[in-house]
Structure 1
Amino acid sequence: MITLFIELEKDPSKLKQFVLNKLDGASHDIKAVIQNTAPDAFVPSSPLRIRPPWDLLSKGNLCLAGNALHQMTIDIGQGGCSALEDAVGLSRCLVEALVKPGREFKGKAFEQEDYKRIELALKQ
């Protein structure tokens, strides 16, 4: 199977034919789109890379999340999912940093120490 994909990466026409062969049962419109697409428009893979340096993930009280943080190809449809997962993780870190036992938040402005705890939570 691996040799098949290596062969497909080298020849866009074979990749196009491979896709067409996988469309049994698909609508005529879908097949027509593939048939009318130029072979050089087929890209076999998109390499994923780690986004260095990691210290740019958060700075002060700002933090990257979702698509801004996770490099993934758009064809897998996981941008929203990763953003929601990041939101849950960030929420947990912020709650741990800001909720003090016995302290009730009454809508007042954050204190300076709160900003430091937010920054540490985002780095976490």
Structure 2
Amino acid sequence: MNDLAHVRLLAAWQNQDIETIKTILSPELKASFVLPTHEELIYNYDQIINVFNERFKEQQEWRFDVLYKTERGTDNIVIIRIYREDDHYNLLEDSSLTILTFKTIDGDRKLIRMYTEMGITGA
């Protein structure tokens, strides 16, 4: 089940289940977001939980395309494209391209790094 941590994370994200997300994120998490303006925002665990809470204030549809999965040593690296839609499948914003890095910590797979390029358009 350790190598499926990204599936558990994406399912919790899709269901806007912040409590499950909290268990998958490492307390040492570093999350970087690059905005379309090229400004880079870097968040720690508490800050990214606040971002999720803010995004989850309204019900929406989250879609994820897993583009690539690989390993580096014992780490799992997953590249995904993220879409946020309303009930009528209209995009709420441009999609994002994200690299997730998972590591085993105390026998459990945790998200240790998240790098996101926001404002992706096109195929």
Structure ranking higher in strand proportion: 2
Q: TM-score, normalised by structure 2?
A: 0.26
Which is bigger in relative contact order (C-alpha 8 A, separation at least 6)?
2
Structure ranking higher in helix proportion: 1
Q: TM-score, normalised by structure 1?
A: 0.26
